[in-house]
Copies of this chain bind each other. A is one copy, B any other.
Amino acid sequence: MKPYIHKVQYYETDKMQFTHHSNYIRFMEEARTYFLEQVGYPYKRVESEGIFSPVIGVNVSYKKPTTYADEIEIEVKIKDVTLARCEFEYVMTCRGEVVCTATSQHCFLDEAGRPVSPKRKNPQFYEKMLSLCQK
C-alpha cells in the first residue's frame, strides 16, 4: 500500500507560517480517499452502491509543524470494522519525522440517511473492509 503524499499549499498556511491545523482533517480525507482507490473500492463506488459513511468523530494529535511546499506522507490503516461503524488510523510524516497522528470514526447510512448494516447492504464491500482491518 503506497502512502498518500500531500504537498502543502500556500492557502493552507497561516500567519504563524505553518500549516493551519484544520487542514489536517482534510488531508485525512484525501488519504482515506486514496486508500480506498488503491484497494479497488473508491468512495464514489461505495456511495453509488448505496452506502454513505460520514465522519462521526476525529482525534488528532499535532506533533510538529509543517509549512509551505512540505510533502506530508500519510499512511492509512483500517483499525476497526463493525456492523455499525469503522475506524481509520493515520500517521503523517515529513522529512522522516512524525508530524501528526490521528483517527477518524465513521458510521454507515443508506441513501435515506438511516443507519444500515454494511454486511446486509453491500457484503462485498464489508468483506473487503474486514480483510483490510489491522487491529
Contact = CB atoms under 8 A, between A and B. Distances in A.
Interface of A: 9-11, 13-18, 20-23, 25-26, 29-30, 33, 42-44, 52, 54-62, 65, 67-69
Given A13-B15, A44-B68, A58 B60 contact: yes
A37 to B, nearest CB: 9
B67 A56 contact: no
Given A26-B9, A26-B22, A33-B10, A69 B54 contact: no
Given A21-B58, A60-B58, A62-B57, A14 B15 contact: yes
A56 B62 contact: yes
A30 B9 contact: yes
A16 B44 CA distance: 12
Contacts of A26: 9, 11, 22
A21 B58 CA distance: 9
Nearest to A59: B59
A60 B62 contact: no
A61 B56 CA distance: 6
B16 A14 contact: no
Closest 3 CB pairs of A and B: A13-B15, A22-B25, A21-B55
8 contacts: A10-B29, A10-B33, A14-B14, A21-B25, A33-B69, A56-B61, A57-B59, A58-B58
